[in-house]
Amino acid sequence: MIADTINQPPETLPELTPEILRRFDVPGPRYTSYPTADRFVEAFGEEDFMLALEQRKVGGLALPLSIYVHIPFCDSLCFYCACNKIVTKHHERAAEYLRYLNRELDLYMEKLGEKQTISQLHLGGGTPTFFSDSELAELMDMLRRNFILEPNGEYSIEIDPRTVTEARLARLAEIGFNRLSFGVQDFDHEVQKAVHRVQPAEQVFDLVAAARRLGFESINIDLIYGLPKQTAKSFRRTLEQVASLRPDRIALYAYAHLPERFKPQRRIHEADLPTAADKLSMLSNAIAGFLSNGYVYVGMDHFALPDDALAIAKRQGRLHRNFQGYSTQPDCDQISLGVSAIGRVGATYSQNAKTLEEYYDYLDQGRLPVVRGLPLTRDDLVRRAVIMALMCQGQVLYESINLAYLIDFKHYFADELAKLEQLVNDGLVEIDDTGIQVTGTGWFFVRAVAMVFDRYLQADRNRTRFSKII
C-alpha cells in the first residue's frame, strides 16, 4: 500500500534514457504556491485583500502568522539574479524605505486590530544586510510593537557574506534573529567571476564558525547549480566544501536562465552554461554526497541534518511549502511587507507594487500597496492540497483528500490519473487503490508530477516563463 511506503531518493543517478531526459528538460513551476504567481490578476486589489483581513479577524486570530519583509537593495549586481532588487551604493535610501515599511505596518494593524502572534519571520531581498545594524534593530522594534513574537519562533535573515562581520552577526543575534541563510551559490572562483559575485571560501567558513559560536539555532547555505562555467567536477569540489562546513540546512537551486525576463542574465553567455545532462549529474552528485554525509533529503531543493526542525517536520508529515520554499510552520497566513512582496491570507494571494515609486505612492495615499492577487476557488484549494502533498511528502492518499474536500478523488482527477500512467511507465510514480507515491527516481522530476494536477498549466502551452525542471 502507498501509505506504508517510505520515499527515499536514490543515492546514485538512476538509469535515465536520453528520451526521458529530453522530455523532462522543459520549463515548469517550483510550486511555492498554487495557483502560481503568474496567475495573479490586477482585478484583485486592495479592497479584496482588506476583505480577507476582515475575515481573518473573525476566524483566524488564534492562528500564528508568518511575516516576510522584502528589502530590495543590493550594493552590486549578481548576473544570475531573478529577484526584485535595486542596485545602489546610496545607503541613505534604506532609511526612507524603512519609514514606508512602518507606514505599511500601521495600515495592517488598523485592519488586523489586536496584537497577533508571529511564529515565523523571514527577511529576504535583495540584500537585507544592506540595512545598517541600527536600521535592522528599528525594524525588529517595529514588529515587536505590533506583534507578539513566539519565544520558540523561527526568525531568519538572508546574508550576503560580503556585507557582514562577526560583530554584525553578534548584533543580529542581539536584536532577535536566530537563523541565518548565507548566499554562497558556488565556491569556484571562475564561476564566481562569471556571475559577478566573488567571495573567498575562507570568508564564508569564518562567518559560519562565528555564527556557531554566537549560538544561532540554524545555519543555511544557498547553492545554485547550472551556473556559467560550472562543471560536474568543479561543482563536486564545492559540494565537498559545503559538506565540511556542515550547515544545518542546504538549499540547492537550479539556475533558471530567462534573459528575456531578467535583464542582468543577459550578461551571461549561454555557451558557458552546462547542459541538461551535466545539471542532472550535479544534482545527482549533490543528493548522493549530502546523503552520505548524514543529511536528509527534505525534497526538491532542501537538505537538512536529521535533528534540524525541517528534517523533523518531514518525518512527522508536518512539512509545508510557502513563498520562501519548504517550511516547518503550519499552513498559516503570511503577511508580506515591502515592494513586490507576495502574501497569503485565507483563501487569497496578494502581491505589492513592484516598483518603489508605485509602492511609495500607495502608502502616501494611505492605502495598502496591493496591486494584484487571486481569490482561490474550491478547485484551486483541492489541487493545491494535492500538489503540496506531492511536493512535501512525495505522496497523496486518496482518502485524506476525499474527506477534507468531500470529493471522489479517482472520479475528480480521472484525466490526471490517466496522464500519470506515462510517469508510472517511466518509473517516476507508483499508483494503487490508496494513492500516488513519488519514487526515488521521481524526486528528480517531482515538479513534472505536480504539473499534471495544475489545471492552469495544462490549459496553457506557453511555459517558457518558468525555469527548467532539470
87 occurs within a structural domain: yes
The secondary structure element, H or E, covering residue 267 is none
pLDDT at 440 over 90: no
Q: 172 and 304 share a domain?
A: yes
Give residue 32's pLDDT.
Answer: 86
The answer to whether residue 352 sits within a structural domain is no
CB atoms within 10 A of CB 66: 26
Q: Kindly indicate the confidence band of residue 315, based on its pLDDT and cuts at 50, 70 and 90.
A: confident
> What pLDDT, on a 0 to 100 scale, did the predictor assign at position 91?
93
Q: Are residues 189 and 309 in the same domain?
A: yes
Instruction: Let me know the angle formed at the C-alpha of 69 by 250 and 268, rounded to the nearest 5 degrees.
Output: 55
- Judged against a pLDDT cut of 50, whether residue 236 lies above it is answered with yes
Contact status, residue 36 vs residue 92, Cβ threshold 8 Å? no
Say which DSSP state 367 is in. -
Amino acid letter, 239: L
Query: The C-alpha cell of 159 is what?
Result: 546574508
HSE toward the beta carbon, residue 309, CA cutoff 13 A? 15
| Same domain membership, residue 44 and residue 22 | no
How far apart CA 291 and CA 89 sit, in angstroms, is: 41
- CA-to-CA dists, residue 269 to 190, 276, 301, angstroms: 14, 16, 25
Amino acid identity, position 323: F
pLDDT for the residue numbered 60: 54
Domain termination site, one of 273, 306, 337: 337
Last residue of a domain, one of 337, 368, 389: 337
Question: Residue 464 domain-assigned?
Answer: no
pTM attached to this predicted model: 0.90
- Provide the 10 A C-beta neighbour count for residue 166: 14
User: Where does a domain end: 306, 337, 368?
Assistant: 337
Q: What CATH number is given to the structural domain containing 222?
A: 3.20.20.70
Question: How far apart are alpha carbons 147 and 155 in whole angstroms?
Answer: 13
* pLDDT number for residue 249: 96
> Are 97 and 24 within one domain?
no
Q: What is the span of the domain harbouring residue 166?
A: 37-337
Cα(288)–Cα(232) distance, rounded to whole angstroms?
13
In this predicted model, which residue has the larger pLDDT, 318 or 136? 136
Cα–Cα dist 457/467, whole Å? 14
In this predicted structure, what is the pLDDT of residue 2?
59
Is residue 294 one of the residues assigned to a domain? yes
Residue 41 reports pLDDT greater than 50: yes
- Residue 43, amino acid: A
pLDDT band at 11 (very low <50, low <70, confident <90, very high): very low
Helix (H, G, I), strand (E, B) or coil at 103: helix
Q: How confident is the model at residue 196 (pLDDT cuts 50, 70, 90)?
A: very high
Residue 356 in domain: no
Residues 249-260, mean pLDDT to the nearest whole number: 89
Cα-Cα-Cα-Cα torsion 43, 49, 51, 53, nearest 10 degrees, comes to 170
Domain membership flag for residue 347: no
Task: Return left, alpha or beta for 181; rule: phi > 0 is left, psi -120 to 50 is alpha, else beta.
Answer: beta
pLDDT at 15: 58
DSSP 425-458: HTTSEEE-SSEEEE-TGGGGGHHHHHHTT-HHHH
Q: Which among 119, 183, 129, 124 has a CA at the least distance from the CA of 154?
A: 119
Q: Provide the pLDDT for residue 331.
A: 72
Residue 249 and residue 314 in one domain = yes
Per the CB < 8 A criterion, the answer to whether 206 and 168 are in contact is no
**Lowest-pLDDT range, 62-71, 157-166, 179-188, 445-454?**
62-71
Q: Same domain, yes or no, for 20 and 82?
A: no
Describe the crossing of helices 356-364 and 93-112 by its angle, rounded to 10 degrees. 50
Q: Both 315 and 399 in a single domain?
A: no
Residues 43 and 24 in one domain: no
Q: What is the CATH number of the domain that holds 415?
A: 1.10.10.920
What is the pLDDT at residue 301? 79
Q: Are residues 442 and 325 in the same domain?
A: no
Inside any domain, residue 468: no
- 77 closest CA partner among 87, 67, 65: 87
Domain check: are 95 and 16 in the same one? no
Please state the domain count of the chain.
Answer: 2
Task: Select from 461, 445, 442 the least CA-distant residue to 5.
Answer: 442
* Range in 48-62, 257-271, 291-305 with the lowest mean pLDDT: 48-62
Q: Helices 93-112 and 133-146 sit at what angle, rounded to 10 degrees?
A: 10
Lowest-confidence segment of 58-62, 149-153, 386-390, 418-422 by average pLDDT = 58-62
Residues 154 and 183 in one domain: yes
**pLDDT cut 90: percent of the chain above it:** 68
- Please determine, for residue 373, whether its predicted confidence score (pLDDT) is greater than 80: yes
Residues 176 and 281 in one domain: yes
